[in-house]
Amino acid sequence: MPKSRVVVPSMVEQTCDILRERIRTGELPPGTRLRQEVLADELGISRTPLREAMRLLAADGLIELEPNRGAIVTALSRESQVRFWEARLALEPAAARLGATARDAAALQAMRAAIADQRAGGGDHGFAANRAFHLALVHSAGNPHLDRFAESLWVQSVGTTIYDSQTRDGAVAVGYADAHEAILRAIESGDAEVAERLTREHILSSPVPD
């Protein structure tokens, strides 16, 4: 019977987090081939935790493992973008309803900070602030399973692609911040029905561009 090698979980998780962030920021753009020997040397780890981290990233759909060829960063199709949008539509309105019941102070503060950042910035900064707001919104529900689901959605570089397409007109980005303010007020006031409705309307008003 083959023996399994012990892998330090924290090393796998740290490796996974580093690669996930590089994919999210575009440092590793779609189509990039990930060479294990190069990455292992760069990160100062053996290939065993690296392979485990890649399996986790593949499970999240961020990379594709190719037999005998290694791995590449997933090139996201329009269908993938649509699925991203649909998943958000299923997740975020329900999280807003739960958040209006919980009214978690830390989550509310994170939403306020994200809105302030969104009004102050643009470009990559604008996307980061937008992402931060929506992750804080989901976090307000107080459910770690929903948090993990949201993180797996928003880490994908598809988010940047969609946001950049939608906000070429600066007025659109301002409109997003206004919509976020309204959602935040509903959650702060404990109005679950309005929070859910406004979140759904916000997502529906910004579909995947053609």
Residues 128 and 155 in one domain: yes
Q: Which amino acid is at 189?
A: S
Phi, psi for 65 (deg, rounded to 5): -90, 125
* CA pair distance 103, 120, nearest whole angstrom: 25
pLDDT of residue 6: 46
97: in domain: yes
pLDDT of residue 79: 80
pLDDT of residue 80: 76
Q: How many domains are there within the chain? A: 2
Query: Which residues form the domain of 176?
Result: 78-204
Residues 116 and 54 in one domain: no
Residues 20 and 112 in one domain: no
pTM for the predicted model, two decimal places = 0.69
* CA pair distance 71, 52, nearest whole angstrom: 12
Percent composition of the chain: helix, strand, coil (DSSP 3-state, to 5) = 70, 5, 25
Residue 98 pLDDT class (50, 70, 90 cuts): very high
Residues 124 and 144 in one domain: yes
User: In whole numbers, what is the pLDDT of the chain averaged over residues?
Assistant: 84
Residues 119 and 147 in one domain: yes
CATH number of the domain that 95 lies in? Answer: 1.20.120.530
Percentage, residues of the chain above pLDDT 90: 48
Residues 152 and 117 in one domain: yes
3: in domain: no
